[in-house]
Amino acid sequence: MEKKNTIFCDIDGTLFKYRKFETYETSEPELLSGVKEKLDQWYTSGHMIILTTARPEWLRDHTVKELKLHDLPWSRLIMEIERGPRFLINDMDPSKPGTRATGIDLERNKGLRSVEWPEGM
């Protein structure tokens, strides 16, 4: 059985063009280049997509509305994470070589098309 990936992905500046919190309810989200295609590819391949955001919890319903407006697939949505650097920590099985945790820094507002993805993504 092929093991699937878990993909943690930020929302603002990564999926949608970056906006200030105070403008979310008065402005439309602008989908960035390659986002819909890449999320659809990951989702239909069976990977888990966990969207993360520093948006406050009171914007959850609004955030879900924006994601649905653009028909973006996701598995989980984690709100109110800190705005500082994010770290992914995972264990490695010594009998199975290869990287088990990868971090990818994107230039803000460039979308997912701007990335050379590791094999399997």
The average pLDDT across 10-37 equals: 92
The residue among 14, 12, 10, 3 whose CA lies nearest residue 115 is 14
> Is the pTM for the entire model greater than 0.85?
yes
Mean pLDDT of the chain: 91
Q: Which spans in the chain are helix H?
A: 35-44, 60-69
pLDDT in tens, 43-53: 999 999 999 99
Could you give the domains of the chain?
A: 6-86 (3.40.50.1000)
pLDDT in tens, 49-74: 999 999 999 999 999 999 999 999 99
- DSSP per-residue letters across 70-103: TT---SEEE----SS---------TTS-S-S---
